Structure 1
Amino acid sequence: MIDVSNAFVALRSQQPIAWIEPAPIPDTVLLESLHPNPVVAEILWRRGHTRPDATSAFTDARPRPAPSPWRIPNMEAAVDRVTTAIRNGEKVAIFGDYDADGVTSSALLTRLLQPHLGEERVLTLLPERSEGYGLSLRGVGDATRFDASLLIAVDCGSSDHKTIEAAHQAGLDVIVLDHHRINGEPPEHAIVVSPQLGDDHAMRDLTGVGVAWLLACGLAQNGIQVADPPAKTERAFLDLVAIGTVADVSALDGINRDLVRDGVDILRKTIRPGLRAMARVAERDLRSLNATDIAFMIAPRLNSAGRIGSPRIAYDLLMERDPAFAERYALELERINRQRKHLAATMQNEAAAQIIERPDWDDWPVLIASSPDWPAGMVGMVASKIVEASGCPTILFEEQEDGVLVGSARAIEGVNIGAMLDELGDLLIRHGGHSGAAGLSLHRDRLEEFSESLADLMMAVEVEIPEPPSLRIAADLAPESVSVDTVRALQCLEPLGRGNETPLFRINGARLMQYSTMGASNDHLRVTVRHGDRQLECVYWNAAHRSSELTERRSLDLVGTLGINTWRDNSRLQFELKDFRMGP
């Protein structure tokens, strides 16, 4: 009998973590021409910013002009149709998605249209996870009963041919604002605005809320007053764009980097009662908020509503103008988020126990598990945790009463799960996604055939599975660089996230001073070291089991991130460990 409470530990890769050395910098490179801080200059050079003009542009924190909305296929037709709806006072229905990208997109479009049409002429619809992903027939029916003449599907719809045909038959004009992979041709009876339809690769990583914001920019250029009172321009919506983009784990380079950087600046000064209330409840100061805080503080709370309930409460929080009501929404989201964390921990161990019950589980290139007790809105998040622990692509399913499995797949670098599901489409009821993540459903009696076929496809790919764990070192830290000044200089690299990762630093030969476990369950490790003349406190989350390795050790090599830990108005330098080795 497997101990479910500890099963997740068994999935963890037993391979040592490889430290990927930072690329050597030629002596001919004048680092001081790239940035006055030598650590920042090294990182910029290693990330491909090798010319002074390029590094200056990359680190320039001034607001950037919006990219041209006309670079996205069919944007002009969409802007013309929305302009007509505004000028004719038509009723408009907005259909979003249940995640943070879909919720922020829906809030943006609603706030965009209501000042022109009035609240009574704009209907915003958000699906629950139980309805499945995409524009639903229920949504079409609700729009029809509302007597809408225009239906805007945002962050979904680009592959919903049958539903859009039903909307067309019902007399609705349809606009799709989406960014997801499109299988085959887009729906015939819709204006489909998607960067995936064009060959402008700079636009490909836009999210649903990014596409929605560019529609707003197009309307502004088309003579429509676009504002979010009391702000007077379309840039007022960039806080929502930043949240949706970071929450959707989109690459933070190119256009997304500009949108998120400017959006974070607006978010720090936001007057939205809901976001201010959320920050208060989470005990986070908005004035110093960054993209990492969006990823770990705002996004999980907004997403939690759609994962185990209705996304409506997250939408209501973003739309609420009364601070008292906003506080209630924020407190309710906090409660739901705590529930999500507890459920996720239970699911992780249950899934792990089910996976390792299979005698040859560690020979399979893909890990698959299912349960009737797992909400469909949670399986993707937990699958990501299992991929992180095991290094293997993972699919988790919710078993529904009708014998249908509804699941989420997560992959590793080099495994295009979206393309593989396309190849196995005959075995599936529905699927969609991209290279790293996808959603799918199939009949339970097809699961074994699907699993074996998917395993065959993965074994044909020249990628090592499980993926060897590794840490890419951005730079070595000399004692004089272990400072608050370095942390402040690193802020010019913001926003940090996918495609512009938080830099990992190595400290060689640090002298071990003391160590202890910490946390309510003593799960974490606190280590104090001396590097040259600097004393530094390190924390290593969920690594208490490694404390035995420190017995009678004098010297350590460390890899981690350098930051400032602020708690109750007290700030101090802190190194967040990702791995350590015995030093000389």
Structure 2
Amino acid sequence: DVDGQTSTALLVQTLRTLGADVVHYIPVRSREGHGFHIESLEQILDNGARLVITCDTGITAYEAVDYANSRRVDVILTDHHELGEALPNARAVINPRLLPKDHPLANLAGVGVAYKLAEALLNSEPQSADLLDLVALGLIADVALLQGETRSLTQKGIEILRQGKRIGLRAIAELAGASLETLTEETIGFTFAPRLNALGRLGDANPAVDLLLTRDQVRARVLAAQIEGLNAQRRLLTSQVYEAAEARLRAEPELLNEAALILSHPNWPGGVVGIVANKLVEHHHKPAILLTESGDGILRG
């Protein structure tokens, strides 16, 4: 999602600023699912990685961290999700849920965690301030609680976004007919977030990181056009799945008497079932779960 994309872009930019040789990798959702897994990690390590830093994931990736340790590769976990029964055996674990609940940073999203690491590494206010546009984009897209420092970071980030320094975001805004100069939280939530999320929902989210980092205007326009096309596809698929779900409910009205709506279909794309479930909740005012049936007999949603 956008939180993971912005977290990744932020740390890649930071580490490159410090002279590191960095590559980024976001798992392809339809093939690898979410999270930090041995299967993808093995290839990364085979390609020569000597340090792995996770973004917005990894807090329960015990097996993957142990595998990296067995290959003598350190892992630094940056994440904001719920802690497991124990922490993975990583070199470092950075997660705001380790803080007291009343700590001002306890509600950081993944990009906020990445920013705090970058801030410490850079030890430079101008350089870290240049990252705040990514922080605002990720926090708002993740619907993070904005209060105290997170609110301050977001406000500063919006000011930087309005300056249009990231040509990739300028390219998206142009195609979407949005103005960066008058950008608000709504612009992020309803223009940028759906388009960037479409990549992860329907395909490979790695180009989103490239878009956020590129300084090549031609490359930015090409990536933005690809994203715009995927977003149109997402809207179409969402509409089709929603209509199919409603048709099922009309054909089997007894389902509406249940405490929750649970529907599945082998042809429903996993990347949009969550969106459709939310639409069903809004329409029918009860919990809804939509699942897609995969070839291995496992239902996912």
1:402 to 286, 290, 296: 296
> How far did 1:174 drift?
0.8
Q: Tell which has more relative contact order, 1 or 2 (C-alpha 8 A, sep 6+).
A: 2
Letter in 2 for 1:156: T
1:1-400 map, 5 Å = 99-118=1-20, 121-130=21-30, 131-201=32-102, 202-221=104-123, 232-400=126-294
1:452-467 map, 5 Å = none
State the SS of the aligned residue for 1:369: strand
User: How many angstroms apart in 1 are the aligned matches of 2:40 and 2:155?
Assistant: 34
User: How many angstroms apart in 1 are the aligned matches of 2:86 and 2:166?
Assistant: 40
Q: Which has the greater radius of gyration?
A: 1
State the SS of the aligned residue for 2:93: strand
Deviations 1:169-199 (A, max 9, x none): 1211111111111232221334221111221
In 1, are the aligned partners of 2:37 and 2:64 still within 8 Å (CA)?
yes
Letter in 2 for 1:337: N
In 1, are the aligned partners of 2:55 and 2:77 still within 8 Å (CA)?
yes
Deviations 1:101-139 (A, max 9, x none): 111111111011113235xx2121111112111102233
Which residue number corresponds to residue 577 of structure 1?
none
> How far did 1:352 drift?
2.7
State the SS of the aligned residue for 1:402: coil
- TM-score w.r.t. length of structure 1: 0.49
User: How many angstroms apart in 1 are the aligned matches of 2:249 and 2:105?
Assistant: 39
In 1, are the aligned partners of 2:77 and 2:90 still within 8 Å (CA)?
no
State the SS of the aligned residue for 2:48: coil
Structure 2 gaps, min length 5? none
Letter in 2 for 1:382: V
In 1, are the aligned partners of 2:59 and 2:81 still within 8 Å (CA)?
yes
In 1, are the aligned partners of 2:141 and 2:189 still within 8 Å (CA)?
yes
In 2, are the aligned partners of 1:123 and 1:146 still within 8 Å (CA)?
no
RMSD between aligned alpha carbons?
1.7
State the SS of the aligned residue for 1:122: coil
Deviations 1:141-169 (A, max 9, x none): 13312322211011010011122211211
User: How many angstroms apart in 1 are the aligned matches of 2:251 and 2:144?
Assistant: 35
User: How many angstroms apart in 2 are the aligned matches of 1:198 and 1:358?
Assistant: 48
User: How many angstroms apart in 2 are the aligned matches of 1:183 and 1:392?
Assistant: 30
In 1, are the aligned partners of 2:132 and 2:153 still within 8 Å (CA)?
yes
State the SS of the aligned residue for 2:24: strand
Q: Which protein has the bigger strand share?
A: 1
User: How many angstroms apart in 2 are the aligned matches of 1:355 and 1:165?
Assistant: 46
In 2, are the aligned partners of 1:108 and 1:237 still within 8 Å (CA)?
yes
> How far did 1:358 drift?
4.2
Q: Which protein has the bigger helix share?
A: 2
Structure 1 gaps, min length 5? 1-98, 227-231, 408-584
> Share of identical aligned residues, percent?
38
> How far did 1:303 drift?
0.5
